[in-house]
Amino acid sequence: MHLNEIKKTREKIKDVINKTPILYSPIFSKMTNCSVYMKCENLQLTGAYKIRGALNKIRSLSDEEKSKGVVCSSAGNHAQGVAYAASLLGVESTIVMPKTTPYLKIQSTKDFGGNVVLHGNCYDDAFLKAKSIEENNNSVFIHPFNDINVIYGQGTIALEILEEISDIDIILCPIGGGGLISGISLAAKEINPSIKIIGVQAEGANAMEQSFKNGNLISLNSVNTIADGIAVKSPGDLTYKIIKEYVDDIVTVSDQEIAEAFLILCEKHKLLAEASGAASLAALKKLNYTDKKIACVISGGNIDMITISSLINDGLVERGRLFCFTLELPDIPGQLQEISRILSELNANIVQLEHNQFKASNRLKNVLLEVTIETNGIEHITLIKDTFINMGFKINQMY
């Protein structure tokens, strides 16, 4: 039943939606002993999969409903999808976004024709404000995930994956409110019930994971993650019911694991994803499978330059490519030169040095040297630490 509706949806939106590429990943495949493929919705129109559900929902409205205008709440990607789809169909849109939304997503939503209202610190705060606007203005609320037409739109991704890789074993999918994985699981399980659908949540925003494992819908008091696109305190009741029936498992990933996956994606594939978009790749380490075909949904790529810089630095630290440490040295000439010589012989590139007498435990005789260096990985860091320890230095790793 659902599969036919999702196929109809695909016909309804195919004039606008990009059929995004599915790319094989040698690096992630090697890391997992599986064949890993990436469904690149970061290359979708508006930069994320959300346009699929938004367009399907707005096209399903009556002319009378369209004349009232639409309103939505979003951390960014649904906002852009609704704004674009509404403008395309000549419908006025009001978009409520958290104040913490990255500037790029706010400006892009405005550029797509949305009237942006900033309210609250997370999606759920924006949701309450949008519902208030709906009531006061008699607008039509376009829910980002808890709506069957939106879910059917997102489910078209599964059709594209299975048309290209019919024997896929596992689909990994990020979860915020649950609309994306609901649509994908409805389509994929009807086509092939043996496909495993595994959801991914950030450790600091794991309401759906808790709900899934406890057997009842759970809301969080707060969320804390770099993955703003999946930072949802209260998942949907409709999506929860679908996930409970069709999804096989939900795993969580840390912000550090997301940053590491982001860095690998950038370095090895020259692709950009937002933190929530890289979550499915981060989850590969949590799976206990070999020789399986795995499709990871890269859900979005709307990321600003400042966040890119932060994620790259975090990823470099997680991969052992940046190493910061302190040494306490005698306050006599030549000590700094000696440390530089040792690091040079160990093929470590100095990024930053801070030489500070006032931070030393014995300020009369010593200075504290804080060093940040580029390294080749964890083994290289271990070699550097062991070298200094064997030379009688007390080394303290900062990160």
Query: How would you list the strands of the sheet with 366-374, edge to edge?
Result: 349-356, 366-374, 322-330, 395-397
Which single residue is written with the structure tokens 């930053």?
A: 352
- In the chain, DSSP assigns E strands to 22-24, 35-40, 70-73, 93-97, 115-118, 140-141, 170-174, 196-202, 249-253, 293-298, 322-330, 349-356, 366-374, 395-397
280: phi then psi, degrees, rounded to nearest 5: -65, -35
Whole-angstrom distance between the N-terminal and C-terminal Cα of the chain?
A: 53
What single-letter DSSP state applies at residue 43? Answer: G
Contacts of 189 (CB under 8 A, 6+ apart): 195, 197, 246
67 as an active site residue: the answer is no
Burial 187-199, CB ≥16 within 10 A → b, else e: bbbbbeeebbbbb
Three-state SS letters, 331-366? CCCCHHHHHHHHHHHCCCEEEEEEEEHHHCCCCCCE
Instruction: Tell me the three state secondary structure of residue 164.
Output: helix
Angle CA 179–182–186, to nearest 5: 145
Q: How far is CA 380 from CA 43, 84, 178, 263, 385, in A?
A: 36, 48, 41, 19, 9
Query: How would you list the strands of the sheet with 22-24, edge to edge?
Result: 22-24, 35-40, 293-298, 170-174, 196-202, 249-253
299 as an active site residue: the answer is yes
Helix and strand counts by DSSP (H, E) for the chain: 16, 14
What single-letter DSSP state applies at residue 171? Answer: E
Q: How far apart are CA 226 and CA 276, in angstroms?
A: 8
Catalytic residue among 12, 50, 57, 129: 50
Catalytic residue among 73, 93, 139, 299: 299
Instruction: Tell me the three state secondary structure of residue 53.
Output: helix
Q: How far apart are CA 55 and CA 164, in angstroms?
A: 24
Active-site residue list: 50, 299
